[in-house]
Structure 1
Amino acid sequence: MYGDKKGLATTRAMSRSIVRQSKFRHVFGQAVKAEQGYDDIRVSKVTWDSSFCAVNPKFLAVIVESSGGGAFLVLPVAKTGRVDKNYPLVIGHSGPVLDIDWCPHDDNVLASGSEDCTAMVWQIPDNSLTRPISEPVVVLEGHSKRVGIVLWHPTARNILLTAGSDNLIIIWNVGTGEPLVSLDDHPDLIYSISWNRNGSLFCTTCKDRRLRVCDPRKREVVAERLAPHEGIRPMRAIFTKDGNIFTTGFTRMSQRELGLWDPTNFEDPIALLELDTSNGVLLPYYDPDANMVYLCGKGDSSVRYFEITEEPPYVHYLNTFSSKEPQRGMGFMPKRGVDVTKCEIARLFKLLDKKCEPITMTVPRKSDLFQDDLYPDTAGPEPAMEPDEWLEGRDEDPILVSLRDGYVPPKSRELRVSKKNLLDSRPTTRRSMSTCDTNSLPPQLLERLLEELQNLKATVVSQEKRICELENKLSQYTNGTA
């Protein structure tokens, strides 16, 4: 409690020390009404510093308590209120699920990592689940210890990164189920990983207290910094859109701290700010469109948010959203899922012990018109390149979409996995006849099938006509005898 008060005093002092012009100075956070939340969710009690929650414009996924293995709950975002205790779960893992992540290029595809040493990729149907899902689209087996991080590539289709307690990072092509790149440069447990904007590099934080920047296609560490935060407790790091790295960690005196770094010159930080004294690891959620970062501490009852700019002091404290109950985890909605008609610039999904509470962040405006300055074009669902192109060295920024008319999620697309090894006996999901590829049929067979279909259609039409004539005659006969 003392730490929270001290932190608030520090951040208020930071805000008073400089007055500047910014459209985000008055961002207003508000929890939704009780009936717009999600109740009766048994949130996982696993001691792992992940967010336990992932959200996109279609679905909310939450890692939950489960007997005899690992499970997570997937709800349509619109399905608010009390969750039926018998609501079907996704239950394929044999050990507790530690991390989940929605694919940025397909709102129906989700990846999960587990203590059972595997990562799995799932296809979620568009509507509410009617039965438990136990068959993933693909199982990714390559780690010898638990898989604690799963992270999709921001611009390339079907590229997934996994990191395990074996200190190994593997990058997969989930379309073939094959590993593309393995990196074993980390001597200890990996705490966090973040891709840069075009997916050419990623940064990591590790238990050995080093911040690293890795080039996965060269399979090497291109930059590193020992102890960006001097404390021994876990750090987090994320790439910003301009290529800098934002970090959270602890000082030697166990005060929570945030930093901003230029990876081309790791000697001195761009900014380094002490926040408060608390044990909870600060999970950063970054909005590249607004260049804002939201800090959610595990066990905290508040969310602090900051704006990153090119002017000193570079990281500007904006405000704090506070509520009564501490959070177990947090989900962050992509910009495609916010309500532009209400000037909502972010939506966080706060996990409590038995429920999930959405928090909306809005910029008050008097006009009802679309606010161009709040909503620049944002990353859309179309991938910018294929896995092979990325592996060969191509880099592309995300393909952007406008939010002027709101965003409508596309319909579900089937994720197909084509194993290159024909002897692989792993069971695959069954496909209906409607999904068969007609282009693979010989032309003569296709013509014969079409001809038979036309003949069958003609027979049905003639039989229908004959039945109608017989019915008319029968009605005439019965009327005459009556």
Structure 2
Amino acid sequence: MSRRVVRQSKFRHVFGQAAKANQAYEDIRVSKVTWDSSFCAVNPKFVAIIVEAGGGGAFMVLPLSKTGRVDKNFPLVTGHTAPVLDIDWCPHNDNVIASASEDTTVMVWQIPDYVPMRNMTEPVVTLEGHSKRVGILTWHPTARNVLLSAGGDNLVILWNVGTGEMLLRLDEVHTDLIYNACWNRNGSLLVTTCKDKHVRVIDPRKQQVVAKSFEEPIALQEMDTSNGVLLPFYDPDSSIVYLCGKGDSSIRYFEITDEPPYVHYLSTYSSKEPQRGMGFMPKRGLDVSKCEIARFFKLHERKCEPIAMTVPRKSDLFQDDLYPDTPGPEPALEADEWLSGKDAEPILVSLRDGYVPVKNRELKVVRKNVLDNRPPLGPGRSQSSSDTNFSRLTLEELLEEIRVLRQAVQAQEKRISELEHKLGQFTNGTD
């Protein structure tokens, strides 16, 4: 009778490989703030990194193709008045990113496909509702323009970025500092970890905790012995969880299964330099021709280094078992639909022919007229309807003029960038 000794798994031989030196990003002043975020966010177009900046907070956005040494005068995103603590790309628009800061605000930015000539200082929308620093951001996985923020005031706030309004405010759920927050696959529930040593599963629309006092765990696995903060990244398509320790120099990965012992250690990727932060590429940004199942962007003190996790396969054909259909960039719901109680699974896309990022889609913020929310006039302060209509008309005209001017400036910046690129080619003798 034969006995199977080795557990069968298609991910048993996953190995990590760092990019070549000319494919890394160098001379980046990674932020030194003592906050337990990843300091990095990536998508199929860009890599964003929180950096050191004088006079406020800033982060840098680099096109994936712009590798090598980064110019010290490379334009930054510099709208915050205090250090940036967290950043997160919108899953439904690769040109939109949100940032959270010690200045208690959340800002949402539209990043152009071209490299701007100067620092970006004007966000598309600023979200104000926290009374202390904001250190956690995460977008809703299926509803358009829904963003979650959590801060040092123990609050969780859900925003409609498309209108700049607060949707929900969870202010009686947590008794201490919130460490992290994450949505489930369809965004019907969220889970948080807290300094009070409780993990909470929350129904945000009912504003209540649906699970908190968990019984004995189904599996207990010692995953790391270092003192640094662990950054976990979970891939639901492969059921692999990657653990990256800040201040550590390794990435440990485990496979989660439905059968005991549930958690299976796979391997460890190690490097020489300790990591300051880590970015995790969405599945649609991977190179399927190389059987790449995950890609990390590892931050060192002055460097960002891509690391590819690959499954060795002999065939060059598309590997269906490694790449099931994965969530694409199209939202399944509008913010109002989700708030009313509707749920929907993510809209999936196939990676068989690879994924091509869509063109720049502008984030439109439709605010309610501020005059509609004015407090009622006191006694003796009358206002005619004609004055109100005139004020509304004037405000709308000013907003439209600002929008047109902003588009003109962006067009000129793009033209200048293209001309400088052509001039550089001519000077180098390549044209």
Same fold per superposition (TM over 0.5)? yes
Q: Work out whether residues 284 and 296 of structure 1, in 8 Å CA contact, stay in contact via their aligned partners in 2.
A: yes
Give the C-alpha shift of residue 331 in structure 1: 0.1
CA shift digits 1:207-265 (9 cap, x unpaired): 1111101100001111103xxxxxxxxxxxxxxxxxxxxxxxxxxxxxxxxxxxxxxxx
Across the aligned residues of Structure 1 and Structure 2, the Cα RMSD in angstroms comes to 1.9
Q: Do residues 67 (structure 1) and 33 (structure 2) align?
A: no
**Once the 2 structures are TM-superposed, how far is the Cα of residue 434 of structure 1 from its aligned partner?**
11
Task: Report deviation, 1:272.
Answer: 1.1
Matched, 1:141 2:89: no
Does 1:287 pair with 2:259? no
Quick check: which has more Rg, 1 or 2?
1
Q: Among 313, 317, 320, which residue is 1:369 paired with?
A: 317
User: What is the match of residue 428 of structure 2?
Assistant: none
**Which of the residues 129, 151, 155 maps onto 1:164?**
151
Q: Alignment partner of 1:111: what SS?
A: strand
Matched with 1:9 is none
1:211 is aligned to 199
| CA–CA separation in structure 2 for the residues paired with 1:428 and 1:69 | 27
Residue deviations 1:18-52, cap 9 Å, x none? 62111000001010111100000000000000000
Q: Which residue of 1 aligns with 2:168?
A: 181
The residue type equivalent to 2:95 in the other structure is N
**Deviation string for 1:95-149 (max 9, x for gaps)?**
0000000000000000000000000000000122322110000000000000000
Is 1:409 the equivalent of 2:357? yes
Aligned positions of 1:70-469 closer than 5 A: 70-184=57-171, 185-225=173-213, 266-423=214-371, 430-432=402-404
Cα deviation per residue 1:270-308 (whole Å; 9 max; x = unaligned)? 211113432111110011111111100111100001111
Instruction: State the SS of the aligned residue for 1:171.
Output: strand
Give the AA of the match of 1:31.
Answer: A
Cα distance between partner residues in 2 of 1:276 and 1:28: 19
Distance 2:220 2:88 in 1: 30
Q: CA deviation at 1:433?
A: 8.5
Q: How far did residue 428 of structure 1 move?
A: 6.7
Change (3 A) 1:82 1:309: same
Supply the distance in 2 between the matched residues of 1:179 and 1:428 (Cα, whole angstroms): 22
Q: Tell me if structure 2 keeps the 8 A contact 1:162–1:171.
A: yes
Deviations 1:310-354 (A, max 9, x none): 111111110000000100000000001000011111000000000
What SS class does the counterpart of residue 372 from structure 1 fall into? coil
Identity fraction in percent: 74
Give structure 1 regions of 4+ aligned residues with deviation exceeding 4 angstroms.
424-429, 433-436
Structure 1 residue 435: Cα displacement:
8.2
Please identify, of 414-423 and 307-316, the stretch whose mean Cα deviation from structure 2 is larger. 414-423
Q: Which amino acid aligns with 1:120?
A: M
Q: Which residue of 2 aligns with 1:51?
A: 38
One-letter amino acid of the structure 1 residue matched with residue 294 of structure 2: A
Q: CA deviation at 1:190?
A: 0.1
Name the TM-score, length of structure 2 as normaliser.
0.86
Q: Show CA shifts across 1:371-402 (max 9, x none).
A: 10100000000000000000010111110000
SS of 1:432's equivalent in the other structure is helix
Structure 2: tracts of 5 or more residues without a match: 374-394, 409-431
Cα separation, 2, equivalents of 1:204 and 1:153: 14
How many Å separate the matches in 2 of 1:294 and 1:322? 13
Using a 3 Å threshold, how does the CA distance of structure 1 residues 75 and 18 change in structure 2: closer, same or farther?
A: farther
| SS of residue matched to 1:319 | strand
| 1:431 Cα deviation from its structure 2 partner | 2.5
* Contact 1:138 1:428 survives alignment (8 Å): no
Q: Distance in 2 between matches of 1:421 and 1:181?
A: 21
* Alpha carbons 1:63, 1:72 under 8 Å: kept: yes
Secondary structure, counterpart of 1:68 in structure 2: coil
Q: Which amino acid aligns with 2:366?
A: S
Q: 1:352 to 1:182 in 2, by over 3 A?
A: same
CA distance 1:148–1:428, shift in 2 (3 Å): farther
AA of the residue aligned to 2:151 = G
Partner SS state of residue 389, structure 1: helix
SS at match of 2:403: coil
1-structure distance, mates of 2:141, 2:253: 23
Distance 1:103 1:222 in 2: 27
In 2, Cα distance between equivalents of 1:167 and 1:66: 27
Q: 5+ unaligned residues in a row in structure 1: which ranges?
A: 1-16, 226-265, 437-482
